[in-house]
């Protein structure tokens, strides 16, 4: 099937728009030109909106199997499509945990059946994410999993992490880490700082994250492994990663939209939509994250989309689960609060959501070029709306951005040449 996108524009490296038309055939971009005369099975008037490579999110939680009351592969990928994401990577904290060939193959079958966008699943580093028995990394890697992680849990011993890194390196796979030394978390539920004192609840020290990153970068150097740090949140973590990169260690990292846009002072008493792990840190940490993203210490942005049921999040700060949803709000929030305020350029933002994650993990996506996969996102940069969780495709409504006014709304998402989301382009 051929699809012709007319009356659109693409972003040049100079950050300037250029009018174009795009012809899609057999799942790939066949032609990009000012005018395309070739006929097509479907012609879409893009109404002068901006066309980008499809967004990539290497850190999301789909909850299926085992947590379907929170999210399913179908609902989560519908949320991704409406947010402009064409490729997402699902974390393994499901039940059962994808840590063996049979469970991974079942997960691939579920994805094939229900996913609206491309899903690349992770496998666990250890059995059931317990940190006690290593996954058979070589065997599981052959199934085609994206990478290995125990996201949500830090690997507590250097021995296990080193062994996992060596095995992953031998298979050409990355080790992706939620960094948290449990011995110094002290039962915390928010940042150990102004907010923990203000709310009189236990805090999570910054050191619990940065000390494990410091350990791991040296292990990665010894193992020759690609080591990727999830959701960096502290200034000390940024410093450790920056120093490791300067030393030539193969370390990469990501930051979330909520850690870029919020800090501990934003946390409201009793509102568990502000409870996530890692927690919202101090203003100095927030600035360090922005600086690290701008100088390349932090490689790209990922949402850590983590849906929970409303009754679970209603248990208060001490008992409710960590996590917020983010797939449907990421681009509008970042465009409104980073691009429109002049802190970053539109090209920088798009790169952090497309080519940068693709390059880090060797994916053939994230570019708008002839011959490449037709993964495309059309955004109405002028369209404005007020974020309303009731409109989400995701089952999860847990996020702290309710009623925020934003601009830059995805209106069309195409995955491998198939339209998977379309809103506001008719007529």
Active site residues: 304
Cβ pair 249, 213 in contact under 8 A: no
Non-local CB neighbours of 426 within 8 Å, separated by 6+ positions: none
Interior/surface letters 128-150, b for 16+ CB within 10 angstroms, e for the rest: bbebeebbebeebbebebbbbbb
Q: Which of 31, 57, 66 is nearest to 353 (CA)?
A: 57
- Residue among 277, 275, 255 nearest 266 (CA): 275
Residue 401 corresponds to which tokens in the numbers above?
């951005």
For tokens 């689960």, name the residue.
Answer: 321
What stretch of H or E contains 58? strand 55-60
216-254: b or e for each residue (b if 16 or more CB lie within 10 Å)?
bbebbbebebbbbbbbbbbbbbbbbbbebbeeebbbbbb
**Quick check: 51 and 8 in contact, CB under 8 A?**
yes
Q: End-to-end CA distance of the chain: give it in Å, rounded.
A: 22
What token pair was written down for 237? 């973590």
DSSP H/E element including 255: strand 251-255
Q: Are 225 and 169 in contact (CB under 8 A)?
A: yes
Q: What span, in angstroms and rounded, lies between the C-alpha atoms of 151 and 176?
A: 8
* Both tokens assigned to 134: 């290593």
Instruction: Evaluate whether 8 touches 45 at the Cβ level (below 8 Å).
Output: no
How far apart are the C-alpha atoms of 206 and 403, rounded to whole Å? 30
């Amino acid at each position: 099937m051929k699809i012709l996108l007319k009356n659109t524009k693409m972003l040049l490296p100079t950050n300037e728009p250029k009018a174009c038309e795009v012809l899609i055939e057999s799942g790939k971009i066949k032609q990009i030109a000012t005018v395309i005369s070739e006929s097509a099975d479907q012609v879409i008037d893009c109404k002068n909106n901006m066309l980008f490579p499809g967004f990539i999110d290497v850190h999301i939680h789909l909850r299926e199997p085992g947590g379907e009351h929170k999210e399913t592969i179908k609902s989560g990928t519908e949320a991704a499509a409406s947010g402009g994401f064409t490729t997402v990577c699902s974390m393994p904290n499901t039940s059962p945990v994808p840590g063996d060939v049979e469970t991974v193959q079942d997960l691939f079958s579920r994805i094939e059946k229900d996913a609206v966008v491309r899903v690349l699943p992770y496998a666990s580093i250890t059995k059931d994410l317990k940190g006690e028995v290593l996954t058979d990394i070589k065997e599981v890697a052959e199934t085609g999993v994206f990478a290995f992680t125990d996201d949500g849990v830090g690997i507590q011993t250097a021995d296990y992490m080193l062994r996992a890194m060596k095995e992953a390196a031998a298979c050409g796979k990355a080790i992706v880490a939620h960094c948290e030394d449990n011995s110094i978390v002290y039962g915390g539920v928010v940042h150990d700082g102004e907010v923990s004192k203000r709310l009189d609840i236990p805090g999570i020290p910054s050191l619990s994250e940065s000390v494990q990153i410091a350990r791991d970068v040296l292990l990665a150097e010894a193992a020759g492994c690609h080591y990727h740090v999830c959701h960096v949140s502290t200034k000390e973590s940024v410093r450790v990663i920056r120093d490791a990169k300067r030393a030539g260690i193969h370390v990469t990292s990501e930051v979330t939209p909520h850690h870029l846009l919020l800090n501990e002072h934003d946390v409201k008493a009793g509102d568990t939509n502000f409870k996530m792990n890692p927690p919202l840190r101090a203003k100095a940490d927030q600035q360090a994250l922005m600086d690290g993203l701008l100088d390349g210490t932090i490689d790209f942005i990922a949402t850590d989309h983590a849906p929970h049921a409303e009754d679970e999040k209603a248990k208060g700060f001490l008992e409710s689960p960590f996590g917020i949803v983010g797939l449907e709000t990421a681009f509008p929030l970042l465009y409104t609060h980073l691009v429109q305020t002049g802190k970053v350029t539109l090209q920088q933002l798009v790169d952090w959501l497309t080519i940068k994650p693709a390059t880090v993990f060797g994916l053939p996506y994230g570019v708008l070029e002839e011959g490449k996969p037709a993964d495309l996102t059309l955004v109405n940069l002028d369209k404005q709306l007020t974020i309303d969780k009731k409109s989400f495709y995701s089952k999860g409504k847990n996020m702290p951005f309710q009623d925020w006014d934003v601009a830059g709304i995805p209106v069309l998402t195409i995955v491998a040449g198939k339209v998977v989301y379309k809103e506001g382009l008719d007529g």
